């Protein structure tokens, strides 16, 4: 069949009400400091992974809170757990634990989905 | 015989100034357009950052301003303002003449009329209210939607009427951020199962204990902060409010349905202040507030010798700053008239 190059663009809008934010709830209950993030980006600035790949913990924080889980799941594996982000966080967020819990939450979600 | 000072405006600034003028030995006439004094403080329930009941502030102000030296003229506005050699001659709407050795202008601010930001639907959609409307609900102890039900999902829009060229206000009202945080906490206290979202451009938490309150709102109350200015609000068929905003930190547009939308109204130069400016020939700035002669050393000094400013008629201020500014105005009057005695 002839390809005309037309595609259907996926909507970029975050549909807050339809999104599943159970991952965020799971992290917040296990690591309450997660809620204190003010999105300053200090963690991403110091992040070794972030300096070599498209990985931003700050962005992941937001996406988790909005329930944009697919993007988070694909990205979160890149973290090497060095913990530099914890050292620089001005709000005292235990960022490493946030990632650990996020991974855990995804694992559980996948387990139950099967 | 004591020297006589007229204070225009009986809100926080005017009452504080009147009280301190009396302490310094001046006779004071306090002109207030409403039947009661207190101004905006009467419309607020609790105050940031320490959640003091606003009635306590009113009580304090009454305590220092109700005395033999202060003559209270309520329901009074000015129709004439002139200067004759060494004194001012003011005529009231009741035809009374006031002779003053000095004048303190404390005409305060007006809350921005949220209906002017039509895209937010204030006055169009029933479940869009202003921060002042919410305070009224706090005072009545009942937060409800238009149909009487309790809202479970509430949004607060920062910067309504501030930092907005479209309404002619380039300045930051600086109190709305902390008011939003305070009100978000109060909503959570009243409706623990509710979700509260603050839509902000910047969080300007510059005052003492503001940042700590912001942190408390996140940590203790789970209030969500979304960075982005709401572009428009619409209504669903069942009277819920839909907001469109860019989640600027995610770099994506976002839409959300809410039960109640609260608009954080900014502060503007009051209409009556503008009338006094015209009547007396007082200079105003691009922001329409009275323009003090010097931002550092003459924040109370006007372009007319013997006329001084107190409080939010010159710029947005919180109560702490207003009180300090009023006391400074009294210091200026004392220096100008040398002493309370003739």
Same domain, B66 and B121: no
Cβ–Cβ under 8 Å, residues B330 and B24: yes
A93 interfaces chain B, CB cutoff of 8 Å: no
Q: Per-residue pLDDT averaged across B92-119, rounded?
A: 97
Taking the CA of residue B32 and the nearest CA in chain A, the distance in Å comes to: 44
What is the structure's pLDDT at B169? 96
Q: Which of A54, A69, A61 is nearest to A85 (CA)?
A: A61
Q: Do B256 and A16 touch (CB under 8 A)?
A: yes
Last-in-domain residue among B247, B266, B285: B266
B56 and B131 both lie in a single domain = no
Model pLDDT, residue B85:
81
Nearest to B49 by CA among B242, B223, B181: B181
B193 touches chain A (CB under 8 A): no
What average pLDDT does the segment B318-339 reach? 95
Rg (CA), chain A: 16
Determine the average pLDDT of the residues in A68-76: 90
Residues B189 and B221 in one domain: yes
Whether residues A58 and B249 touch (CB distance < 8 A) is answered with yes
Tell me which residues of chain A, numbers 70 to 89, contact chain B at a CB-CB cutoff of 8 Å: none
Lowest mean pLDDT among A2-16, B59-73, B100-114, B154-168: A2-16
Q: Mapping DSSP to helix (H, G, I), strand (E, B) and coil, where does residue B331 land?
A: helix
Q: Which CATH number goes with the domain that contains B21?
A: 3.50.50.60
- Same structural domain for residues B234 and B118? yes
Report in angstroms the alpha-carbon separations of B62 from B10, B16, B21.
Answer: 10, 9, 14
Residue B238 confidence (pLDDT) above 60: yes
- pLDDT band with cut points at 50, 70 and 90 for residue A7: confident
In 3-state terms, chain B is what percent helix, strand and coil (to 5)? 30, 30, 40
Residue A79: both structure tokens together = 């973290």
Number of domains in chain B: 2
Report the C-alpha gap between B141 and B45 in whole angstroms. Answer: 10
Shared domain for B253 and B195, answered yes or no, is yes
pLDDT of residue A11: 87
- Residue-level pLDDT at A113: 63
Least Cα distance to B264 among B173, B188, B163, B159 occurs for B159
In three-state secondary structure terms, B215 is helix
Confidence of residue B8 (pLDDT cuts 50, 70, 90): very high
Say yes or no: A23 contacts chain B, CB-CB below 8 A. no
Q: Could you give the CA distance from residue B316 to residue B172 in angstroms, rounded to a whole number?
A: 8
- pLDDT value of residue B341: 55
Residues facing residue B44 across a β-bridge:
none
* Per-residue model confidence as pLDDT tens digits over A74-87: 899 999 999 999 99
- pLDDT reported for residue B340: 55
Q: What is residue B48's DSSP assignment? A: T
- Contacts with A38 from chain B: Cβ below 8 Å: 203, 218, 225
- Same domain, residue pair B122 and B243: yes
Chain B residue numbers with beta carbons less than 8 Å from the beta carbon of A63 are 250
B76 within a domain of the structure (yes/no)? yes
Of B203, B218, B252, the CB nearest to A14: B252
Question: If you average pLDDT over residues A48-66, what whole number do you get?
Answer: 93
Residues B101 and B161 in one domain: no
User: Between chains, do A36 and B215 touch, taking CB under 8 Å as contact?
Assistant: yes
Q: Average the pLDDT over B211-215 and give the result.
A: 97
Contact B252 A38 (CB under 8 A): no
| Contact state of A14 with B255 under an 8 Å Cβ cutoff | yes
CA distances from B133 to B65, B111, B225 (A): 29, 12, 22
Instruction: Please give the mean pLDDT across all residues of chain B.
Output: 96
Nearest to B252 among A12, A32, A35 (CB): A12
Angle, CA of B225, B135 and A66, to the nearest 5°: 15
In this complex, the residue of B218, B222, B250 whose CB is nearest that of residue A66 is B250
- Chain B residue with minimal CA distance to A63? B250
In this complex, the residue of B227, B252, B253 whose CB is nearest that of residue A39 is B227
- The CATH classification of domain A22-113, taken from the options 3.40.50.720, 3.30.60.50, 1.10.1060.10, 3.40.390.10: 1.10.1060.10
ipTM of the complex in this document: 0.80
Question: Are B122 and B212 members of one domain?
Answer: yes
Q: Say if residue B144 is in the same domain as residue B22.
A: no
Q: Which of B199, B247, B256 should one mutate to test binding to chain A, selecting the residue with the greatest count of A CBs within 10 A?
A: B247
For residue A4, the model assigns a pLDDT of: 80
Q: What's the average model confidence in pLDDT over B270-282?
A: 97
Question: Is B118 within a domain?
Answer: yes
Helix H or strand E encompassing B82: strand B78-84
B121 plus B262 within the same structural domain: yes
Residues spanned by the domain of B47: 4-108+270-337
For residue B107, give both structure tokens.
């005409």
CB pairs under 8 A between A and B: 48
Q: Residue B159 — pLDDT band, cuts 50, 70, 90? A: very high
Cβ–Cβ contact B231 with A under 8 A: no
Residues B98 and B129 in one domain: no
- Do residues B9 and B39 make contact, with C-beta atoms less than 8 angstroms apart? yes
**Sequence-separated (6 or more) residues with CB below 8 Å from residue B145:** B126, B127, B151, B239, B259, B260
Compare all CA atoms of chain A with the CA of B255 and give the residue at the minimum distance: A15
User: Greater confidence, B1 or B187?
Assistant: B187
Would you call B222 and A35 a contact, using CB atoms and an 8 Å cutoff? Answer: yes
Pairwise CA distance, residues B183 & B135, whole Å: 8
| Interface contact flag, B254 A16, Cβ < 8 Å | yes
In percent, how much of chain B has pLDDT > 70?
99
The predicted pLDDT at position B52 comes to 97
Q: Please name the member of A13, A39, A65 whose beta carbon is closest to the beta carbon of B252.
A: A13
Residues of B in contact with A18 (CB under 8 A): none
- Identify whether the C-beta of residue B179 lies closer than 8 Å to the C-beta of residue B264: yes
Is residue B342 in a domain? Answer: no
Check if the beta carbon of residue B257 is closer than 8 Å to that of residue B278: no
Give chain B positions within 8 Å (CB) of A12: 252-253
Question: Exposed/middle/buried for B276, CB within 10 Å: 0-12, 13-18, 19+?
Answer: buried
Binary contact (A38, B256; C-beta < 8 A): no
How far is the C-alpha of B174 from the C-alpha of B163, rounded, in Å? 10
Please check whether residues B104 and B120 belong to one and the same domain: no
Distant-in-sequence, close-in-space partners of A6: CB < 8 Å, separation ≥ 6: none
Which of B101, B102, B46, B58 has its CA nearest to residue B323?
B58
Output the DSSP codes for A52-100. Answer: HSS--HHHHHHHHHHT-HHHHHHHHTT-----HHHHH-TT---HHHHHH
Least confident window among A53-57, B177-181, B211-215: A53-57
Whether A6 has a pLDDT exceeding 90, the answer reads: no
């Amino acid at each position: 069949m002839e390809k005309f190059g037309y595609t259907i663009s996926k909507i970029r809008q975050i549909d807050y009400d339809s999104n599943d934010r159970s991952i965020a709830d799971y992290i917040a209950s296990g690591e309450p400091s997660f809620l204190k993030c003010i999105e300053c980006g200090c963690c991403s600035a110091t992040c070794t992974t972030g300096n070599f790949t498209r990985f931003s913990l700050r962005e992941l924080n937001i996406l988790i809170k909005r329930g944009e889980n697919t993007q988070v799941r694909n990205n979160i594996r890149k973290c090497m757990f060095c913990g530099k982000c914890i050292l620089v966080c001005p709000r005292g967020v235990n960022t490493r634990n946030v990632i650990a819990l996020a991974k855990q939450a995804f694992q559980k979600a996948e387990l139950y989905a099967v | 015989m004591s020297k006589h000072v007229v204070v225009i405006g009986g809100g926080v600034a005017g009452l504080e100034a009147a009280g301190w003028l009396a302490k310094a030995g001046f006779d004071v006439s306090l002109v207030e357009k409403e039947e009661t004094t207190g101004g905006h403080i009467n419309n607020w329930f609790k105050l940031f950052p320490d959640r003091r009941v606003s009635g306590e502030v009113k009580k304090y102000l009454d305590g220092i301003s109700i005395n033999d030296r202060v003559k209270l003229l309520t329901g009074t506005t000015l129709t004439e303002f002139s200067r004759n050699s060494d004194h001012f001659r003011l005529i009231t709407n009741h035809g009374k003449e006031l002779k003053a050795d000095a004048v303190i202008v404390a005409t305060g601010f007006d809350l921005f009329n949220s209906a002017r930001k039509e895209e937010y639907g204030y006055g169009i959609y029933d479940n869009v209210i202003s921060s002042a409307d919410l305070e009224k609900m706090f005072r009545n102890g009942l937060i409800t939607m238009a149909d009487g039900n309790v809202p479970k999902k509430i949004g607060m829009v920062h910067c309504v009427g501030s930092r907005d060229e479209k309404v002619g206000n380039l300045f930051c009202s600086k109190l709305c951020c902390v008011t939003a945080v305070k009100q978000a906490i109060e909503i959570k206290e009243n409706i623990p199962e509710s979700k509260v979202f603050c839509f902000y451009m910047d969080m300007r938490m510059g005052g003492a204990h503001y940042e700590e309150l912001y942190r408390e709102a996140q940590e203790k109350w789970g209030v969500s902060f979304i960075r982005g200015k709401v572009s428009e609000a619409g209504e669903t068929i069942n009277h819920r409010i839909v907001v469109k905003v860019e989640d600027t930190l995610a770099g994506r547009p976002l839409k959300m349905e809410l039960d109640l939308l609260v608009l954080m109204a900014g502060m503007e130069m009051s209409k009556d202040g503008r009338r006094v400016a015209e009547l007396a020939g007082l200079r105003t700035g691009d922001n329409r507030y009275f323009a003090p002669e010097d931002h550092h050393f003459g924040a109370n000094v006007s372009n007319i010798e013997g006329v001084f400013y107190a409080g939010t008629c010159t710029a947005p201020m919180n109560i702490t700053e207003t009180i300090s500014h009023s006391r400074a105005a009294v210091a200026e009057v004392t220096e100008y008239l040398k002493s309370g005695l003739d």
